[in-house]
Amino acid sequence: MLNVLIGLMMLGMAMDLDINDFKRLLRQPKPPAIGLGAQFILLPAFTYLLTLILHPAPSIALGMILVASCPGGNLSNVMTYLAGGNAPLSVGMTAVSTAAAIVMTPLNFAFWGSLNPDTAAILRRVSLGPLDLFMTIFVILGIPLVLGMVIARRWPRIAGKVRGPFKTFSVIVFMAFVAGALANNWNNFVTYIGFVVFAVFVHNALAFFLGNTAARFARLNQRDRRAVTIEVGLQNSALALILIFNFFDGLGGMALIAAWWGIWHIIAGLTLAGFWSRRPVEVEAAAA
């Protein structure tokens, strides 16, 4: 049932995508390559280092690694637009990162999660391997992604009518996931709320920092920098939650991290978008 719900959420998102989103990135590959590199290489690696520094409980550390291994969330498209960033680039990166996550999420999670003996013990306990994650992610991401794009292309009028209800449905389901994760782990939440809030704040700030720093080193223009920063800073925490419920039986520390990420990155993203919206893009930088 949970897989069906997340699959329907992804189907709704996919109906906003088009094959041209992918073709557009091929014409200007540098910005999306930088964004995806920060998303799937830098963020998981630095998240692992962050867990070594903070030394959280193993379940919390594994939750941080899982969130970092997930693709960008589709809220990044709206926030990039509000921030005056390159919205088409954001849409394209979300599409590509969602497709790439079918392979990259299980590989990153299995690799970085197995480096720490404590988190590796949890993976062994649930007998979770990359192939198990790959098959689940393929079902809940890959199939809805293709199906949604086909519907939007072949039956655009139907897609136009159902987009709104699907978006409303997605918000309701996501909030239900978050509420369920907090309710099922309420005692743990009360006990660890201070550390969870702090860890997510630092982790999310790190994600924004890595995206922005990578874009600056690559000398991307301001609109592209804003898109890459927000894309890396907003993770698909709904996917993380569904994987946690599927494979880890809603394991406390993991669920708390993913649930609070889902709330906090919206607050942080809107704050950053509001900040940038009051600072117009410089003409010279935009033309670079």
Is 182 a residue whose pLDDT tops 80?
Answer: no
DSSP string covering 45-77, please? HHHHHHHHHH---HHHHHHHHHHHHS-B-THHH
CATH of domain 2-286: 1.20.1530.20
Check residue 66 and give its pLDDT.
Answer: 95
pLDDT at 203 over 90: yes
pLDDT band at 285 (very low <50, low <70, confident <90, very high): very low
* Average confidence (pLDDT) over 263-268: 89
pLDDT at 283: 56
What are the pLDDT digits (tens) for 208-235? 999 999 999 999 999 999 999 999 999 9
The per-residue pLDDT for 107 is 92
pLDDT band at residue 150, thresholds of 50, 70 and 90? confident
- pLDDT tens digits for range 81-129: 888 888 888 888 888 888 888 889 999 999 999 999 999 998 888 766 6
Q: Among 37-46, 119-128, 133-142, 196-205, which is the least confidently predicted range?
A: 133-142
Largest Cα–Cα separation, the chain = 55
Helix axes 75-82, 222-233, angle to 10 degrees: 150
Report the chain's mean pLDDT, rounded to a whole number.
83
Nearest-angstrom CA–CA distance, 173 and 152: 22
Residue 3 has pLDDT above 80, yes or no: no
Q: How do the domains of the chain map onto residue ranges?
A: 2-286
pLDDT at 200: 96
pTM of the model: 0.83
Residue 131 has pLDDT above 60, yes or no: yes
Q: What is the pLDDT of residue 63?
A: 94
Q: Compute the average pLDDT of residues 29-33.
A: 91
Q: How far apart are CA 220 and CA 228, in angstroms?
A: 9
71: phi then psi, degrees, rounded to nearest 5: -75, 175
Q: Which residues contact 94 (CB under 8 A, 6 or more apart)?
A: 17, 71, 72, 73, 74, 76, 77, 231
